[in-house]
Structure 1
């Protein structure tokens, strides 16, 4: 239940031609306390409830618990979430033995595109495709829970 993940900005849309899958995601947060977040997500036609713990000092790993829930329950819980709801499209791109999840954000976070890769260990190596930009692992402002409270347009000056 420990998630090891690295985050990167994306410097082009070239990944779209490599994508195996594209899914719309709507998500909100019932709790955005820094020691734990509780997220409700609609991913396509499925609902999910996720609890994440505090990140390690380097931002690479943290506890994550996720359970699929009924779509109707997820829609109801989204109405109870803190402002602002996150709306994004997720592209899945396989690069050798890894899958990158690239999120293109809409609404108040429009203009932001982030790629994430989950790893088996913090020291695991992986191939970096040409569209992968600056690493932002551990930079809290790029966490979805923070983007819901202080959207990209506000702090990026768009």
Structure 2
């Protein structure tokens, strides 16, 4: 188990795509989506991944995370028993001044939403923001994937 420290931002435009060095389609569902412990099943490209996350701290920037690669067939089977609602997105990796931003462009009922996350070594670590980065939404639970599954962006 490790401590995940990250900041999350809205994305203003598609200019990040020109700077992206990798993109991967991701489909994921939740076996449990309570804030105290989310259990996520993900198919990322051709890999299956099982992730368990604990509740975030007061700022929303830190929380415990455990992750393990599982067989693709197991991930496909687990997706069938997940809670209603699936997250479908493309993740773009964008390097910027020593950091890698993970930019998620959502589809389906979350169409029109694009968010970027950057992992940090400490909560007070400074990040030079690329021009395409918009408002910070760290700690805003509406933007958690487990909440977007329940209340999609297009229904806000």
Do they fold alike, i.e. is TM over 0.5? yes
Q: Which runs of 5+ in 1 are unaligned?
A: none
Q: Over residues 84-139 of structure 1, what are the superposed CA-to-partner deviations in whole Å (9 max), with x where a residue is unaligned?
A: 00000000000011100000000000000000000010011111000000000000
Partner of 2:132: 131
Partner of 1:19: 20
Partner of 2:120: 119
Using the alignment, how far apart are the partners of 1:66 and 1:115 within structure 2? 20
Q: Which runs of 5+ in 2 are unaligned?
A: none
Using the alignment, how far apart are the partners of 1:77 and 1:60 within structure 2? 28
Using the alignment, how far apart are the partners of 1:112 and 1:85 within structure 2? 15
Give the RMSD, CA atoms, in angstroms.
Answer: 0.5
Partner of 1:60: 61
Using the alignment, how far apart are the partners of 2:34 and 2:24 within structure 1? 27
